[in-house]
Amino acid sequence: MQATEESIIYYSKQKTMRGIRVAAIFCTLGILLPIIFSDQTWAYFFGIFIAIACMLVVLNIYQFYSNKHPQIMISAAGIQTSKIPFAQWKDIQGEDVIQISEGKTTGYYLIYNLPSGQAKHPLYFLDTDYASLRAILKMYRQ
């Protein structure tokens, strides 16, 4: 890989649409549940609960889908994320992409240490993966 002026990572339209589709399928199942089991009271409560929860998930994921702002910017000068201001390489230590297990879920995060503390940015729904981001970090650091 040859270093370009800057590597910019956005939210992935493909990953967010996949999440919206899965949530929409479950929302449809929640709506169909009381129709299929119309004589069962539990089906109405459970179906409404599933449908509302899935609609909230769709709205949350849609915020990622509609966000056109860069989430991670890495250049020869340093790193900036959507949540953490620009930091020069001389102030950054221990930059890496790690996998963190939290309960039953596992996620990948860009982490690096700054004089003010540790920066941690999640990679879910971003248009990159563990290996690609790690290669980009290595390319700009060297």
Task: Give the span between the Cα atoms of 46 and 53, in whole angstroms.
Answer: 11
Per domain, the residue ranges of the chain are 13-66, 70-141
Distance of CA 38 to the CA centre of its chain: 38
Task: Give the span between the Cα atoms of 121 and 117, in whole angstroms.
Answer: 13
- Tens-digit pLDDT profile for residues 6-56: 999 999 999 999 999 999 999 999 999 999 999 999 999 999 999 999 999
Task: Give the span between the Cα atoms of 33 and 24, in whole angstroms.
Answer: 14
- Tens-digit pLDDT profile for residues 76-104: 999 999 999 999 999 999 999 999 998 88
Give the count of beta carbons closer than 10 Å to the beta carbon of residue 62: 15
Dmax over Cα atoms in the chain, in whole Å? 67
